[in-house]
A = this chain, B = another copy of it.
């Protein structure tokens, strides 16, 4: 709420529109960001002049297609994404489960790419989605292996499910285990019924990204974790090797 300058207020409006998933009016936006109507209106006009917000037939605001323009080509230019693509494809085909890549970008852990599994019931993350830092296998990997790079969200921390492991002694023990074993897991802690197993992509000992296999918990039962973990660890190493140019 105590936002910075004018530009940041305008960008907060974009995030607000993105999160709402539905067109919003001036008043509504102003309320959720604690901005006066007239200010909100003017900022929306500025965003609209550059195409970053559109208006539906009723005059309400929604994210504009210029965002698609500005985002186009971004992923293809990211070395990690380029290095990971064939590995994701191969893994998803071999395992039949969804494999995805995430990394830290401007303080958030974002899904950078994915290859969906072949099951009728499968995880289908959306590229660009932000992952919560606790309550996620990849998030825990970052907390354990690159604690200075990530930070807990500002607001009050809530449990996503009854199984969410909130920050505290229990999470600290979990992170210690992650550090020693070199991979992380998430069993129904973010979304009920969803299991994730994550492995690091290390470059010169530093965590530059993470790969994870995700699927219905019923399809990834604990007794099979061992096999999946070996695969995903290998995938993380393969991506790291491709990043360093050892493999064409």
Contacts and interface: CB of A to CB of B under 8 A. Distances in A.
A51 B14 CA distance: 12
A43 interface: yes
A128 B46 contact: no
A63 interface: yes
Interface string A1-45: 000111110111011001001000000000000000000000100
B65 A67 contact: no
Contact of A70 (B7, B18, B72, B75): B18
Interface stretch (A92-100, A102-110, A157-165, A185-193): A102-110
Nearest to A14: B70
A70 B67 contact: yes
A68 interface: yes
A2 B74 CA distance: 28
Interface in A125-139: 126-130
Contacts of A12: 50
Interface string A209-243: 00000000000000000000000000000000000
Contact of A63 (B64, B71, B107, B112): B71
A68 B108 CA distance: 12
Contact of A106 (B48, B127, B129): B48
Interface residues of A, number: 48
Contact of A11 (B47, B77, B105): B47
A68 B106 CA distance: 13
B70 A106 contact: no
Nearest to A108: B51
A10 B11 CA distance: 10
A73 to B, nearest CB: 6
Given A129-B69, A129-B72, A106 B51 contact: yes
Given A7-B43, A69-B110, 19 more contacts: A5-B6, A7-B7, A8-B46, A10-B10, A11-B52, A14-B70, A15-B70, A18-B69, A18-B73, A48-B106, A50-B106, A51-B105, A51-B106, A51-B107, A63-B70, A64-B105, A65-B112, A67-B74, A68-B127
Interface of A: 4-8, 10-12, 14-15, 18, 21, 43, 46-52, 54, 62-75, 77-78, 105-108, 110, 112, 126-130
